[in-house]
Amino acid sequence: MGVLPNKRLHHATQRQAEAFTAALAIFLVIFMLGGLIWTPSVQAEDELNCVLCHKFRGLSRIDENGRFRLFYINENLFMKGPHKRIMCMDCHRDIKKIPHDPAEKVSCTVECHLTEPSGKQKFSHAPVKKVLEASVHSKYDKEGNLKDYPEDYPSCKNCHEQPLYRPLSFFKGESAGISRRGLSRCKTCHQTGDFAEDFYSHVTSRLQKTRESKEIVEVCAKCHGDPAFQKRHNLDNVIESYKETFHGKAVSFGSNETADCLDCHVVYGESVHSVESHKEPTASTHKNNIAATCRNEECHFKAGEALASYQVHTDYDNAEKYPMQYYMLKFFKGLMAAVLYFFVVVIFLELLRRLFPNFSFIKEKPADAESVLRNNSTEKGA
Amino acid sequence: MQNKYPRINYRNGKRFFFRFSLLQRIQHVILFSCVITLGLTGFPQRYYNEEWAKPLFTFMGGIDVAPWIHRGAGSVLLALFFFHTGYWMFLFFRNRIKPLIEQRTLSPVTFFKAFLAMEMMPNGKDGRDIIQMFKWLLYLSPKPPQYDRISWKEKFDYFAPYWGIPILGPAGMALWFRDEFSQVLPGWLLNAFYIMHTDEALLAGLFLFFVHWYNVHYAPEKFPLGTVFLTGYLSEADMIHEHYAEYIEAMTESGLEHEIKPQGHH
């Protein structure tokens, strides 16, 4: 969706904005007719009929920073997403009229109109923000000072790429399924509207992994896989070293049962937002806690404490940090080179020898049968 | 043994020389079937990032099946290793130790000598053969090396898996049973075993594909397929080319001295 900076436009761009509004109005009128013919299949909570315009795939412009912005909303995706019961204007609060001016960036921590049933309070994502701010991913250190390169630290949407926030990609098409049989139990009592369907999918989608492990690794790799980022924060290429482990390999072949980043870097049973530095005594990756993390009841529960000394993020080129791996690799590479080069040379010479099978720089008497036998018999054992 | 497998056999008027017994050929079939299966399920994991890795791994059963095929083939190979160890020990005892016992000459010295005299043991002739081979290859001698029943190359082929399996097998077992393993040994050993497993496997794979298959299949006179691993018998031309010393001995033993062909015309 359109996310534009909240600053006053310059004089030049103001004209651009006016032109944009005019263009939008024309666009609206032209497609209003179309809208009447192709009635949107799902009206949802779209009280102001926002999708009347935003359903058109070409709805886009170049913003004042020169970036291409696509404002298309795929209704199908929206209706499968977690926000389907929320009105557009609940989040896009600065939009008061249609057609509207460039909208402000949405804050994920606003309170929406939904009442959170367990506490009877307005629903908000603010508690998640709190957890995130206590984690290693907070822009602030413990004393409350801004860390170096604060812009590198993630906010909600850096990880939660709702399909709607990445308009040109495809949703994986699978969401928590609705079992008609399961639903029938709810519907016995909750008969009005789509209440049962909505809450059923709300609950079931949270009872299972909503993202593939591979996607989790990709989300982390957006920052941790970037060499410039690693250098700025003095971090190893943990994405690369993870991918070299059996965990990483299994994930790359599509396994969802093996450990991805979050399985080890979050204390078992805690919110995935609470990743901590391995230096924190409470971190799942702190040296005193690694064994407990590996041996949690879903993973290596049969393992001994000693499994903790397995080095997951091995950098095979780093002789100082991983001397054993470095020198073992050197040994095997050396052995391989020695064996293969020796035999390749022999094979090559043998093929060359076939060119002139009887030629020799040094003449010798060809061996006769008896001398061969004589040579041979000395070697024969019992 | 000699009756079951005559040293020289005739087929369509051509001479063939005995190389491998049926039991040995069966062991070899199990060996290469396991190694190929292990390679097809193992190398896609080593090179998970390459284009070909995913389709091959999917073909081999994907992440849910292929690792189990790998473990199964590895277990069979390890079992074969133990069987083969028992097999050569049995032959060693029957052919070399029992006669010493019967002659009442068994002592640590004769035992050790008998041990070194086994046909797979590297010996002084292998060293001289290698020197002669290089002289010949570098056009410094007109005389190709005259290998005995087992040439140094074949001994190398033999000891490659015989050293490779004890390296790969236990390492693979430790990675398979990592949880049980970590009850007794530290986890960082798994890092070491992983390198041992994957890099020794690469060496074995490359050696087999380039060197072993050259020697037995790709070489111009053999291409596209050497058949001794199936029949157990080698043709006269190949015998002259590869085992001239053994050839002369077999011909002489069979009273065919006058039909011995000279080496070097191939």
Q: What single-letter DSSP state applies at residue B263?
A: S
User: Structural domain of residue A191, as residue ranges?
Assistant: 177-209
Residue B198's region, left for phi above 0, alpha for psi from -120 to 50, else beta, is alpha
- Whole-angstrom Cα distance, residue B240 to residue B265? 9
- Using CA atoms, how far apart are residues B99 and B109, in angstroms rounded to an integer? 15
Indicate the SS3 state at residue B17: strand
What is the token pair recorded at A335?
């052995």
Instruction: Please judge whether B179 and A307 are an interchain contact, meaning their C-beta atoms are less than 8 angstroms apart.
Output: yes
- pLDDT tens digits, chain A, 382 residues: what are they? 344 444 444 555 566 666 666 666 666 555 554 444 444 444 445 667 888 888 888 888 888 888 888 888 888 878 777 787 788 888 888 888 888 888 888 888 888 777 777 777 788 888 888 899 889 999 998 888 999 999 899 888 888 876 555 444 333 334 445 667 777 777 778 878 778 877 877 777 777 677 788 989 999 999 999 999 999 999 999 999 999 999 999 999 998 889 999 999 999 989 889 999 999 999 999 999 999 999 999 899 999 999 999 999 999 999 999 999 999 999 999 999 999 999 999 999 999 998 988 888 888 665 566 666 665 555 444 3
How far A219 CA sits from the closest chain B CA (Å)? 18
Pick the residue from chain A with its C-alpha nearest to B53. A253
Helix (H) or strand (E) holding B14: strand B14-18
Residue A41 φ then ψ, to 5°: -70, -35
A36 contacts chain B (CB < 8 A):
no
CA distance A15 to B211: 74
Dihedral sign, Cα of residue B114, residue B117, residue B118, residue B122: positive
**Token reading at B178:** 């990592």
A7 shares a domain with A91: yes
Which chain A residues contact residue B175 at CB under 8 A?
246
Residues 106-135 of B with CB under 8 A from A: 113-114, 116-118, 123-125, 133, 135
User: Are A2 and A92 in a shared domain?
Assistant: yes
Q: What are phi and psi of A156, to 5 degrees?
A: -45, -55
CB spacing of B113 vs A381 below 8 angstroms: yes
Of A329, A359, A382, the CB nearest to B199: A329
Measured CA to CA, the distance from residue B123 to residue B128 in angstroms comes to 9
User: Cβ separation of B257 and A350 shorter than 8 Å?
Assistant: no
Count Cβ neighbours within 10 Å for each residue of B185-210 and write b for 16 or more, e otherwise.
bbbbbbbebbbbbbbbbbbbbebbee
- Determine whether the interchain pair B203/A336 forms a contact, defined as Cβ–Cβ distance below 8 Å: yes
Q: Above 60 in pLDDT, residue B23?
A: yes
Q: How many CB atoms lie within 10 A of CB A251?
A: 26
Residue in A2, A160, A167 with CA at minimum distance from that of residue A76: A167
Kindly give, in sequence order, each residue whose CB lies less than 8 Å from that of residue B41, ignoring residues fewer than 6 positions away.
Answer: B57, B60, B61, B66, B67, B69, B70, B73
Residues 6 or more apart in contact with residue B130 via CB below 8 angstroms? B145, B152
∠ CA A132-A135-A140, rounded to 5°: 90
Determine, yes or no, domain membership for A278.
no
Residue of chain A nearest B143, judged by CA positions: A366
Chain A, residues 258-297, CB within 8 A of chain B, namely none
Q: Would A218 be classed as within a structural domain?
A: no
Gap between the Cα atoms of B137 and B131, Å rounded: 10
The C-alpha angle with vertex A70 and arms to A68 and A71, in degrees rounded to 5, equals 140
Sequence-distant (6+) residues with CB within 8 A of A343 are B207, B210, B211
- A355 occurs within a structural domain: yes
Closest partner residue to B191 among A305, A310, A362, by Cβ? A310
Alpha carbon distance A209, A206 (integer Å): 7
- In this predicted structure, the answer to whether residue B52 has a pLDDT above a threshold of 80 is yes
d(CA B5, CA A221): 64
Nearest to B266 by CA among A256, A234, A358, A345: A358
The answer to whether A136 contacts chain B (CB < 8 Å) is no
Gap between the Cα atoms of A300 and B178, Å rounded: 9
CA B133, B246, A372: angle at the middle one, nearest 5? 65
Task: Evaluate the CA torsion angle A339, A340, A341, A343 in order and state its sign.
Answer: positive
Would you call B249 and A339 a contact, using CB atoms and an 8 Å cutoff? no
The alpha-carbon gap from B141 to the nearest alpha carbon of chain A, in Å, equals 5
Same domain, A96 and A183: no
ipTM value: 0.91
> Which residues in chain A are closer than 8 Å to B184, comparing Cβ atoms?
304, 306
The answer to whether residue A159 sits within a structural domain is: no
Say if A99 falls within a structural domain. Answer: yes
- To the nearest whole Å, the CA of A10 is away from the closest chain B CA by 48
User: Nearest-CA residue of chain B relative to A306?
Assistant: B186
Rounded Cα distance between A202 and A186, Å, is: 13
CA distance B114 to chain A (A): 7
What percentage of chain B exceeds 70 in pLDDT? Answer: 98
Contact (CB<8Å) B142/A366: yes
Whether A110 contacts A91, CB under 8 Å: yes
Domain match, A6 and A97 both: yes
Residue A130 lies in a domain: no
Residue B62 tokens read as 């994907």
Q: CA-to-CA distance for A10 and A294, rounded, in angstroms?
A: 55
A36 domain residue, yes or no? yes
Answer with the one of A190, A209, A228 that is the final residue of a domain: A209
**3-state SS class at B208:** helix
Q: Which residues in B lie closer than 8 A to residue A346 (C-beta atoms)?
A: 133, 137
- Amino acid in position B55: P
Q: Report yes or no on A305 lying in a domain.
A: no
The distance of A341 to chain B (nearest Cα, Å) reads 10
Candidate from B62, B194, B195 with C-beta closest to A254: B62
Determine the Cα–Cα distance for residues A157 and A108; give it in Å rounded to an integer: 9
Regarding whether A181 and A83 lie in a shared domain, the answer is: no
Confidence tier at B263 by pLDDT (50, 70, 90)? confident
Report pLDDT for A367: 57
Q: Compute φ and ψ for A108, nearest 5 degrees.
A: -75, -10
Q: How far apart are CA A247 and CA A267, in angstroms?
A: 18
**By the CB < 8 Å criterion, does A355 face chain B?**
no
Q: Are residues A8 and A102 in the same domain?
A: yes
* Average pLDDT for B58-81: 97
| Closest chain A residue to B249, measured at CA | A373
Do A99 and A181 reside in the same domain of the chain?
no
DSSP secondary structure letter of residue A140? B
Bond preceding residue B99 cis, omega within 30 of 0? no
| Pairs across A and B, CB distance < 8 A | 182
Chain B residues inside the 8 Å CB shell of A248: 48
Q: Is B263 on the interface with A (CB under 8 A)?
A: yes
**Residue at a domain's end among A209, A231, A258:** A209
Task: Please say whether the beta carbons of A336 and B207 come within 8 A.
Answer: no
- Secondary element (H or E) of residue A60: strand A60-62
d(CA A361, nearest CA chain B) in Å = 5
Q: β-strand A115-116 against A68-70: which pairing, if any?
A: unpaired
Which residues are B235's β-sheet partners?
Answer: B16
Which of these three, A55, A90, A108, is where a domain ends?
A: A108
Instruction: Please tell me the total count of domains within chain A.
Output: 3
pTM metric for this prediction: 0.78
